[in-house]
Amino acid sequence: MWSSKDITIEKKKVPCMVNESDNMIEIEMPFDLKLRKATSVTIDSTDYKITSMEDVGERKETLKITIEVQSNDKSIKGRKDSKLSE
């Protein structure tokens, strides 16, 4: 579901629309040529690596950012296993 949020990208706070699912986040924001080379974004105090960024319709109006969310199941399992072996 799309919701309105402020994100931080290149130390700049930007109002945008965010669609979050279990394994992916989509962000649509106003086009800004200076932000086209950004590699990460902060949403709700969490940093994410940008997977892709595109100029929607190639009209220099909207940027669409895609982020793949990594599951933390493996690291949690590893911590549980290490506690059992102590």
Per-residue pLDDT tens digits for 21-56: 989 999 999 999 999 889 999 999 999 999 999 999
Please check the confidence at residue 17 and state whether its pLDDT lies above 80. Answer: yes
Q: How many CA atoms lie within 13 A of 14 on its CB side?
A: 23
Per the listing, tokens 């982020």 go with 67
- pLDDT for 64 equals 97
Contact residues for 48 (Cβ-Cβ < 8 A; gap 6+): 25, 40, 41, 42, 67, 69
Question: Which band of pLDDT confidence, cut at 50, 70 and 90, is reported for residue 73?
Answer: low
- pLDDT for 71 equals 65
* Dihedral of the alpha carbons of 39, 42, 47, 49, in degrees to the nearest 10: -30
Contact residues for 57 (Cβ-Cβ < 8 A; gap 6+): none
Residue % of the chain over a pLDDT of 70:
81
pTM of the model: 0.77
